[in-house]
Structure formats: C-alpha cells, structure tokens
C-alpha cells in the first residue's frame, strides 16, 4: 500500500501555505525535507511549502516520483481569500442580457434551444448550453452573423469564460454548447468541431465515516429531513433522483427502489435498507405525500436548496466540520460498500455509472487496508510448519557451523 501524503491549506506568516502531512516515518520525512522550498513550522507541527500553482505542480510530480499516494481533497474545499472573492466577476443578469439582444438574435437563440431539445438533451443541459450561447450573442451583438468566425469563439472564451473565472467543468460545458451552436448555424468559417475541451480536474471525493453518517441521522430531528438523508445515503441516490422519486417507485414488499430515467436516461433498481424502511413508512404515514415521495408545498417537487441547507445544519449539530453535500452521502455509500467487500462491478450498477472508470475513484479513498492481505512468504512458512509433524519451527535464516 502506498504511503499517504495529505496536503492541506495553511495560513502561516501572513501567507497562504500548503501543509504536508504524513504518518511519521524516517524515510518519508527525509524525502519530504529534500523537496526544494520545504520548511518546518514548529507552532503548527508540520512541514509546509508556499502555496502557488507552480509549487503545487512540482510537489505533485516529486511525490508521485517517490511512490506516494496524494490526498489533496482539503485543498479543493479551502475557503477563498477575501481578495479572491472581491476580484471574482459576478456574471450579468441573463434577463437583462436577453432584453439587450436584437430580434434576430432572440429568434436565433430560441431556434437553437429548440434544436437542442430535438436532440433529446436534458432540460438542465439545454438550460446550461442556452445560457452560454446567450452570453456569446450578447458579446457579439454588434457583429453580423455572416461575419462570425472561430476568432469570435476564441474571443468569447477569453473575455467571458476565462476572465470571469468559470470552473473547468463549466468551460467544458461551454465548448460543448458552442460545438452544437456552430453545427446548428452551419456557416463556412464558423466551425468549432475541432475545439478541444479542457481536461477534467481529478479530485478525490469527500467521504464521511460510517459513524459520521449515524451521527448526522441522530442529529436530524425533523422526520422528513431524516428520511431524506437516510434515502440519499442508503440508496446511493443523486439528489435529482431523490427529488423525482415517486411513491409508485417504492416497492416496500420487495425492499426495492426503482430509479427511473436517472443520469444518462437509465433505469436501475437499488435495494431498500431494512433500517430505513420503518423510518420511511413513519414519514409516509405522517406527511401523507400524494405523488412524489418527498413533496414540497402544495404537493410540488421538493427544493434541492432546502436539502443542502438542512444537511449543512445537521452536520453542524453532529460536530462534522467537513464540507458535506447531498452527493457526499452518495460518495460515502459507494466507499462503504467497497470497504464491506462488495465487488466494484456491483457498485457500478447500484450507482448507475456507465463507465467502470468512474466507479474506480472509490478505490482510492476506501479504508479497506491492503495490509490485511497475507504475505505469500508467511503463508508458505505456516504451511511448511503444519506439514512438519515434529512441530519444528521453520526458519528462513541459515544456520552456519563454525
């Protein structure tokens, strides 16, 4: 099993630093100390380096070369400094942007949205793609459509996506939106088919311990809220799957939950926990939902923001300081299944992943130690001792006659 190095944000000497944590080992300590720029903080009891993109890249390369496994999930959720927040550009209101378009541009945008729906893309995807093209049209509202070229696309990405600090994920969505848009417009010099999406950032998922899950459930006093958390974790559900779950999708007799048209338009069946079943029945009897399992006011679909809000409060009451989202419960479900010895292929089916590579990320955070696997040398010596009727201890060191 690879030694684990944990990288965390650290404010020290009025600067942003990266704390380097590891289980004490002379060899590991020596290797860390040899990295250029590393220093020791006596007050924080940790090695650290200055936090910069260049240093982080060099540190990653150095640690990987040394055969270490790097846990940098804490860096992902580090709070942004006030200066970063202040400099971040707030996107303009989309209603205002739309109103400032010409009639022809508004018609083009509407036709593009219809084109996307004709391709049977999900409404959330249509909304995201439509917004990026709205931004593109607004930036080029003074440019005739016939004069568009790939230079206009590059200008848009530089002035909007890069300058407003959109995430890599949003950047990838933007490129996909533009690819569809240029195909829809079908202009000679306006073709984004060769544009490449930036590579995805690879982050390890945040995972709660099994004990922390119970702590959150016990800290949640509201019956509906407790049922929601229980369903999210015990079913490994996405928040959208929970919100769209209907009463007819529950099979209490067979202890099954039917997820219909989840991500990728796939149906799947997940098992219902024996522990969650009485809680769920109590919730249904008390709240008497009519259509959706979890209903908001007047029988409408429940709000995702409400779930995030009360989950945050429950974690606070449970004394959990990690950043926990509804998807964290899904990550925890998958990791705990892996730790319990469930085959990765079954976990893939339960989560509804199309590619096994997506599910494999949980092998990096599972705590099922490889050290539990017995060394073949130990097994061989033990077998030889069992075969030897004299019960003579088998040694691997040679005896020399002097």
Residue pair 366/335 in contact (Cβ under 8 Å)? The answer is: yes
Kindly state the tokens that stand for 93: 């209101």
Identify the band that residue 174 occupies on the pLDDT scale cut at 50, 70 and 90.
very high
What's the rounded Cα separation, in Å, for the pair 26 and 42? 18
- Max mean pLDDT among 126-130, 341-345, 347-351 falls in 126-130
Instruction: Give yes or no: 387 in active site.
Output: no
Q: Give 240-285 pLDDT, tens digit per residue.
A: 899 999 999 998 888 888 988 766 667 888 888 888 888 999 999 9
Active-site residue, selected from the candidate residues 135, 179, 225, 330 = 330
pLDDT of residue 286: 93
pLDDT, residue 364, reads 62
172 is catalytic: no
Residue 400: inside a domain: no
Residue 369 lies in a domain: no
> Domain range holding 272?
210-364
The pLDDT, as a whole number, for residue 185 is 94
Q: Is the domain of 100 the same as that of 68?
A: no
Locus of tokens 């073949």:
376
Q: Residues 232, 287: one domain?
A: yes
Q: Are 249 and 320 in a shared domain?
A: yes
**CA 66/CA 129 separation, integer angstroms:** 43
User: What pLDDT sits at residue 86?
Assistant: 46
Strand partners, 39: 48
317-331 confidence digits (pLDDT tens): 999 888 899 999 988
Same domain (yes/no): 331, 347: yes
Choosing from 8, 140, 268, 327, the catalytic residue is 327
Q: What percent of the chain has pLDDT over 90?
A: 36
The residue among 86, 104, 133 that closes a domain is 86
Name the least confident of 58-67, 343-352, 354-363: 354-363
Instruction: Give a yes or no: residue 388 inside a domain.
Output: no
* Residue 356 pLDDT > 80: no
Instruction: Give the three-class secondary structure for 262.
Output: strand
Query: What mean pLDDT, rounded, does the chain reach?
Result: 83
60 and 177 housed in the same domain: no
Is 117 considered catalytic here? no
Q: What are the phi and psi torsion angles at 22 (to 5°)?
A: -165, 155
Question: What band does 293 get if pLDDT is binned at 50, 70 and 90?
Answer: very high
Report, as an integer, the average pLDDT of 35-60: 87
**What does the pLDDT read at residue 401?**
47
Amino acid 20: pLDDT: 92
Q: Which residues make Cβ contacts (< 8 Å) with residue 350, sequence separation at least 6?
A: 236, 268, 270, 271, 334, 337
Confirm whether 238 is a catalytic residue. Answer: yes
**Is 254 a residue of the active site?**
no
- Same domain, yes or no, for 36 and 138? no
Q: Out of 180, 238, 331, 336, which one is annotated catalytic?
A: 238
Helix (H, G, I), strand (E, B) or coil at 12: strand
Residue finishing a domain among 26, 52, 86: 86
| Residue from 263, 297, 387, 392 carrying the catalytic annotation | 263
pLDDT at 115 over 50: yes
pLDDT of residue 366: 63
Please indicate, yes or no, whether residues 135 and 12 belong to a single structural domain of this protein: no
Q: The whole model's pTM is what?
A: 0.54
Between CA 225 and CA 183 the distance in angstroms is 45
Last residue of a domain, one of 35, 61, 86: 86
Q: How confident is the model at residue 209 (pLDDT cuts 50, 70, 90)?
A: confident
Number of other CB atoms surrounding residue 177 within 10 Å: 24
**Ranges 13-17, 70-74, 114-118, 332-336: which has the least confidence:** 70-74
Active site residue 138: no
Same domain, 65 and 164: no
Domain count, the chain: 3
59 phi and psi, to 5 degrees? -65, -40
CATH of the domain at 355: 1.10.443.10
Residue 371 within any structural domain of the chain? no
d(CA 66, CA 255): 48
**129: in domain:** yes
* Helices 223-235, 210-219: crossing angle, 10 deg rounding: 160
């Amino acid at each position: 099993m690879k030694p684990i190095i944990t990288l965390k944000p650290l404010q020290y000497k009025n600067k942003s630093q990266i704390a380097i944590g590891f289980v004490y080992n002379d060899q590991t300590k020596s290797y860390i100390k040899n990295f250029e720029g590393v220093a020791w903080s006596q007050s924080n009891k940790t090695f650290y380096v200055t936090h910069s993109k260049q240093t982080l890249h060099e540190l990653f390369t150095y640690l990987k070369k040394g055969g270490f496994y790097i846990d940098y999930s804490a860096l992902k959720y580090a709070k942004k400094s006030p200066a970063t927040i202040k400099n971040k550009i707030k996107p303009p209101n989309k209603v205002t942007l739309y109103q400032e378009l010409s009639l022809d541009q508004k018609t083009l945008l509407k036709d593009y949205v219809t084109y996307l729906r004709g391709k049977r893309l999900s409404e959330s995807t249509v909304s995201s793609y439509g917004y990026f093209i709205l931004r593109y049209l607004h930036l080029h509202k003074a440019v005739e459509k016939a004069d568009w070229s790939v230079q206009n696309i590059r200008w848009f990405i530089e002035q909007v996506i890069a300058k407003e600090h959109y995430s890599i994920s949003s950047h990838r969505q933007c490129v996909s939106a533009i690819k569809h848009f240029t195909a829809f417009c079908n202009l000679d010099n306006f073709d984004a088919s060769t544009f490449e999406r930036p590579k995805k950032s690879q982050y390890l998922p945040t995972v709660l311990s099994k004990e922390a899950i119970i702590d959150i459930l016990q800290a949640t006093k509201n019956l509906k809220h407790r049922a929601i958390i229980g369903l999210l974790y015990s079913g490994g559900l996405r928040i959208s799957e929970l919100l769209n779950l209907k009463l007819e999708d529950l099979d209490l007799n067979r202890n099954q939950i039917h997820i219909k048209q989840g991500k990728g338009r796939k149906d799947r069946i997940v098992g219902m926990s024996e522990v969650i079943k009485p809680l769920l029945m109590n919730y249904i009897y008390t709240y008497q939902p009519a259509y959706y399992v979890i209903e908001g006011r007047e029988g409408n679909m429940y709000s995702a923001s409400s779930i995030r809000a009360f989950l945050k409060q429950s974690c606070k009451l449970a004394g959990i300081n990690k950043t926990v989202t509804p998807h964290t419960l899904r990550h925890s479900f998958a990791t705990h299944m892996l730790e319990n010895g469930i085959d990765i292929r079954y976990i893939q089916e339960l989560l509804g992943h199309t590619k096994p590579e997506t599910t494999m990320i949980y092998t990096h955070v599972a705590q099922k130690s490889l050290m539990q696997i017995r060394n073949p040398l130990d097994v061989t010596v033990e077998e030889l001792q069992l075969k030897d009727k004299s019960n003579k201890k088998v040694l691997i060191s040679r005896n020399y006659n002097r």
